[in-house]
Amino acid sequence: MLFGAAYASYKTGKLTSGGAVMGIMVAISIYLGTGLKGIAMLAAFFISATIATSHSKGKKPAGSNTHQEKRDATQVLANGGLPALIGLVAFIIPGNDLLATVLTAAAFASATADTLSSELGTVYGKRFYNIINFRADENGRDGVISVEGTLIGIAGSTIIAATFAASSGLNSTFLYIIIAGTAGNLADSVLGATLERKGLMNNNEVNFINTVTAAAICCLLIYL
């Protein structure tokens, strides 16, 4: 199944050959630690991100901080690297599958929120602001947000939280995942407006850190 999905993504131009191979490796790592629950969240992220990236391409500003439609290995790792690492740790140290699944959900919630808010916010946003000073800024630049894009991001986090809840039940963790995913997305924008604009970080690095931020915040919400 994993190989078939990766091959189909490669043939339809959604992944490069390197991206397809890395996608298989990430999926296997996630499955080892979180089972089909983790794979379901990976699928929810990939499908929603692919749709958002392809949607209204002609309306998106040239040179904006939107994502390439064909993802390479580095981009796959930027969004799925942390869930893969969590899966491997849970596999090596048994008995942590539930926590691993929750943290995987938080990471994918942030990745989904970031992708949907940047891809669809540039299309449906009305007014655009720099997240640092909230002054009007150029649509599509790093660190620029809109009310519409932020709400779309929250919806993206909710997609992953709902995927988690479908197999694990609806409880406070559902809200923790949404909160963590939204916080990770906002952290992404802050890094974009500061370090990324200055050339001190690239987009893949920022994307990876937003998943780490979401997982850390979710962990704090669970244990505090």
Are 23 and 7 within 8 A, CB to CB?
no
Residues 6+ apart with CB under 8 A from 206: 188, 191, 192, 195, 196
C-alpha 37/C-alpha 19 separation (Å) is 22
Query: One digit per residue, pLDDT tens: the chain, 224 residues?
Result: 555 555 456 556 678 889 999 999 999 999 999 999 999 999 999 999 999 998 877 677 765 555 566 788 999 999 999 999 999 999 999 999 999 999 999 999 999 999 999 999 999 999 999 999 999 999 999 999 999 999 999 999 999 999 999 989 999 999 999 999 999 999 999 999 999 999 999 999 999 999 999 999 999 999 98
Residues 6+ apart with CB under 8 A from 176: 102, 106, 218, 221, 222
Give the alpha-carbon dihedral of 70, 150, 129, 71, to 10 degrees: -10
